[in-house]
Chains A and B, each alone.
Chain A
Amino acid sequence: MLEKELKDIVGEKWVIESDEKKLYGFDGFTAVRGEPRLVVLPGNEEEAVKVLRLLIKNSVKVIVRGSGTSLSGATVSLTGDEVVVSLTRLNKVYSQKGFEIEVGPGIVNAMVTMNAPPHLFYAPDPSSYQVSSIGGNISHDSGGIHVVKYGPTFNSIISLRVLLPNGEVEEFPSSPVFNFSSIFIGAEGTLGAVLRARLRLYLKPKFKKSIFATFNSIRDAGKAIVDVFKSGVIPSALEMMDKYSIIAVENSRYKAGIPEVDAILLIELDGSQADFEERRVKRVIEDNGGEMLNVKDPNKLWNARKGAFPAMGVISPAYLTLDCDVLRGYLPDVLVKIREIALKYNVYIANVFHAGDGNLHPLISYDPSDFNSFYRAVKASDEIEKTVIEIGGVPSGEHGIGIEKVKFMEVYYDETSLNVMKRIKNVFDPYNLFNPCKMFGNCKVENREVKVLWEWD
């Protein structure tokens, strides 16, 4: 029996077959709740390999999971046949040399920097960096506030060790030709399981400056964002929060004393040029009608930004989080349009996002006990995504397609591209064992929430 064989590998208490497996039924995306067949928590890489091989041999569907903070529902078991393999216990640091560190997939993002020499740091920092795991970060090519200067996870991966859906473990050397590891970055666990990662570390900048500026119009704030880059400055972070996000944060434990203005820009400059750049950025802000906000403790504002998503809990107990990208120049237009959409569907939408790289995060709140409220939120989300794609934007910048954005795939990609993707999936995973129903959908699911998410009206 499968349960018994799994227990023989990992030990009795690390296989969850009771009702408690429902605790692994969903992640940071709460709209759709599943229930896995079983949950297994291997204690090390060797056990993980044995567990995955056993599941593959028995043609059992697999969902590889880390901390379970996905915002697109990447780890939800939609059919109930899937076994969730949690790799959270594979959280070792294997080695650290020069500007590289080798870690297990379960290690928490923040722990990478903690384990690095004091003069180095791991750059990608999604807002969930205190809890989200590197395996999940790789599988979603996670970004964060420092993407604008250091790039998303992709730029910090040197090489990977991966278990493929045929059960083989491959260690890809770092390579300038056919960057083997790259295909697994952003694959959302559909092509195999990341077992180890060699990550790139950066020198910690000696100087850092924070600038906060408030604006009475999102248009002015949007223009200031573009002008910062035009002035020749590449900030290490450039974030924006709109009025509705400020209201949520100021009512949460992240309260930072931000005035209820139309928009606030949070800018960080790092490196030896920071002083000089600060003067330029301040000038840009003044020219665009912004006002400098002087604060005693800049960290308080940055923490407010990082806690802004879950702080939405004070507005409503659930929300959809989009992560579409647009060219920076289009930000003002899109933000104005999002406000119109919010009014049209009568939903509360807060915008808090990585403005520097045009990565929007409309948070669309809804009441999970009211289906109509969920329906309206999804319709608002549909319209925002369509707006973004129409002007040349991308449906998902860093949270992944998961369950949430399946239907936008066919809007954004043409048929040829979609076919190429499906062929790649088929080459790696011909029996469709790894993270089924994600990204391409393609599952018969009798769940009304999924139907609303996957089907157009």
Chain B
Amino acid sequence: MGMGLEEALKCVHCGFCLEACPTYVVTKSEIHSPRGRITAFKLGINSDGFQTCMFCRRCELACPSGVKYSEIIKTVRRPNPLEKIAVKLLDRPVSLVPFLRMLRINAFIPLEHREENEDLILFPGCLTSVVFRNSVEKVLNYFKSLGYKVSVYNDMCCGLAHEHIGEVQEGKERIKRLKDVFRGKVVVSLSSNCTAHMRENGIENVYDLAEFLLKFNLPLPKRDGEVTIHEPCHAHLLGIDNYIRPVVEKMGLKVAESEEPSFECGAGGDFFIFNRELSEKVMEVKKEKTLKSGVKTVISTNPSCSLAFLKMGLRPIHIADLL
């Protein structure tokens, strides 16, 4: 029995996943819900819903029967030709620059930095390396000022994007190669969902930035002001987002509560490019939920989420920006 089917048979059709799903929330249609997608899979219906899944996996947290939905959807998602090209670019972030500029997203040449016998590897994540180069630079300087020897690693995507669009094998290969590259090293990631993806797939020596700062009790600067916190979906699934708040509070920032901070930001990896209408509706909902906090500055530690917040007219900042 295929892995997908085994999981699908666990579904008791209770519907507890419905409101956790961003595309259901904005369409209210069974087609665009996890329950509908699982049922379509079981009944062998080639449903439009397969392509509209944002792969946030919030439904997995909501599911009382423990259905691993991602194992099902991965088997039926098929990338469109453009997506296939787009994920190929992720392995060489520099090649993303013209593509992103075409989408009117400000992009830069990634920061290169290597030291012999480094103490830690900084893994910006492909999108962070070109869109939020500034954050990479800040965190690099921070570590250097503390006496760390650091190398920045921009040479491969973690594979999450590949899994999202159904290129499961491609995704697995990347994990395998990264496991080798990172063996015996300490890695700090600036993209929380990539951190989560690598950790979930057995790369244990990767820390999310906030997690690293907290676990090694590194000195933090004092900052003034009020922020709200976004919990990136995959990081939330693994609980890696739990480190963000204590770091922010240790810096002296006040945290205003938004509604459902783990609600999908609307970007959904490359979803915002290929499913614009749905993505914009999800962003509208996310914006409303975020603004319930009363502040516009959002701590966002994942690049596509940060792009989404920029699109909403909010002010995303990474923990790295505060160092």
Q: Which residues of A contact B (CB under 8 A)?
A: 14, 16, 19-20, 22-24, 26-28, 30, 41, 67-69, 86, 88-89, 91, 106, 108, 110, 128, 130-132, 252-254, 307, 309-314, 317-319
23 contacts between A and B (CB under 8 A): A14-B29, A19-B47, A20-B31, A20-B36, A23-B30, A23-B47, A27-B15, A30-B12, A30-B13, A252-B65, A253-B64, A253-B66, A309-B14, A309-B64, A310-B16, A310-B63, A311-B65, A312-B65, A313-B11, A313-B65, A313-B66, A314-B10, A317-B11
- CB-based contact B28/A106 at 8 Å: yes
- CB-based contact B15/A68 at 8 Å: yes
B48 / chain A contacts, CB cutoff of 8 Å: 20
Cβ of B186 to closest chain A Cβ, rounded Å: 31
A254 / chain B contacts, CB cutoff of 8 Å: 64
- CB-based contact A310/B64 at 8 Å: yes
A313 to B228, CA, bound (A): 37
Identity of the chain B residue whose Cβ is nearest the Cβ of A19 in the assembled complex: B45
- CB-based contact A24/B30 at 8 Å: yes
Identity of the chain A residue whose Cβ is nearest the Cβ of B63 in the assembled complex: A253
Q: Does B19 contact A (CB under 8 A)?
A: yes
A234 to B30, CA, bound (A): 40
Cβ of B66 to closest chain A Cβ, rounded Å: 5
Identity of the chain B residue whose Cβ is nearest the Cβ of A368 in the assembled complex: B9
With A67-B15, A131-B19, A310-B16 already in contact, the answer to whether A23 and B36 are too (CB < 8 A) is yes
- CB-based contact A318/B63 at 8 Å: no
A88 / chain B contacts, CB cutoff of 8 Å: 28-29
- CB-based contact B39/A313 at 8 Å: no
B43 / chain A contacts, CB cutoff of 8 Å: 19, 22
- CB-based contact A28/B14 at 8 Å: yes
9 tightest A-B CB contacts, nearest first? A313-B65, A310-B64, A88-B28, A310-B14, A307-B64, A313-B12, A23-B36, A19-B45, A69-B15
A89 to B45, CA, bound (A): 24
Identity of the chain B residue whose Cβ is nearest the Cβ of A16 in the assembled complex: B31
Cβ of B263 to closest chain A Cβ, rounded Å: 13
A307 to B63, CA, bound (A): 9
Q: Which residues of B contact A (CB under 8 A)?
A: 9-19, 28-31, 36, 39-40, 43, 45-49, 61-67
A128 to B9, CA, bound (A): 21
A319 to B12, CA, bound (A): 8
- CB-based contact A128/B66 at 8 Å: no
- CB-based contact B15/A41 at 8 Å: no
- CB-based contact A312/B12 at 8 Å: yes
Q: Knowing that A20-B40, A23-B30, A24-B30 are A-B contacts, what are 16 other residue pairs whose CB atoms are under 8 Å apart, sorted by A's residue number? A: A19-B47, A20-B48, A23-B39, A23-B47, A27-B13, A27-B15, A41-B29, A67-B15, A88-B28, A128-B16, A131-B17, A252-B65, A313-B65, A313-B66, A314-B65, A317-B10
- CB-based contact A128/B14 at 8 Å: yes
B9 / chain A contacts, CB cutoff of 8 Å: 317
A30 to B11, CA, bound (A): 10
A110 to B20, CA, bound (A): 13
- CB-based contact A128/B15 at 8 Å: yes
A68 to B13, CA, bound (A): 9
Identity of the chain A residue whose Cβ is nearest the Cβ of B64 in the assembled complex: A310
B64 / chain A contacts, CB cutoff of 8 Å: 252-254, 307, 309-311, 313
B61 / chain A contacts, CB cutoff of 8 Å: 253
- CB-based contact B45/A28 at 8 Å: no
Q: Tell which of A16, A26, A67, A317 touches B18, judged by Cβ atoms closer than 8 Å.
A: A67
A240 to B29, CA, bound (A): 35
- CB-based contact A68/B12 at 8 Å: no
Identity of the chain A residue whose Cβ is nearest the Cβ of B9 in the assembled complex: A317
A22 / chain B contacts, CB cutoff of 8 Å: 39, 43, 45
Identity of the chain B residue whose Cβ is nearest the Cβ of A39 in the assembled complex: B30
A86 to B36, CA, bound (A): 14
A128 / chain B contacts, CB cutoff of 8 Å: 14-16
A131 / chain B contacts, CB cutoff of 8 Å: 15-19
Cβ of A126 to closest chain B Cβ, rounded Å: 12
B28 / chain A contacts, CB cutoff of 8 Å: 41, 86, 88-89, 91, 106
A67 / chain B contacts, CB cutoff of 8 Å: 15, 18
A252 to B12, CA, bound (A): 13
- CB-based contact B66/A68 at 8 Å: no
Cβ of B236 to closest chain A Cβ, rounded Å: 14
A265 to B48, CA, bound (A): 45
Identity of the chain B residue whose Cβ is nearest the Cβ of A306 in the assembled complex: B64
Identity of the chain A residue whose Cβ is nearest the Cβ of B17 in the assembled complex: A131
B65 / chain A contacts, CB cutoff of 8 Å: 252, 310-314
- CB-based contact B18/A28 at 8 Å: no
Q: Tell which of A23, A89, A307, A313 touches B10, judged by Cβ atoms closer than 8 Å.
A: A313
B13 / chain A contacts, CB cutoff of 8 Å: 26-28, 30
Q: Which of B10, B13, B40, B46 has the most CB of A within 10 A?
A: B13
B66 / chain A contacts, CB cutoff of 8 Å: 252-253, 313-314
B36 / chain A contacts, CB cutoff of 8 Å: 20, 23
- CB-based contact A68/B30 at 8 Å: yes
A23 to B27, CA, bound (A): 15
A69 / chain B contacts, CB cutoff of 8 Å: 14-15
B31 / chain A contacts, CB cutoff of 8 Å: 16, 20, 23
A66 to B9, CA, bound (A): 24
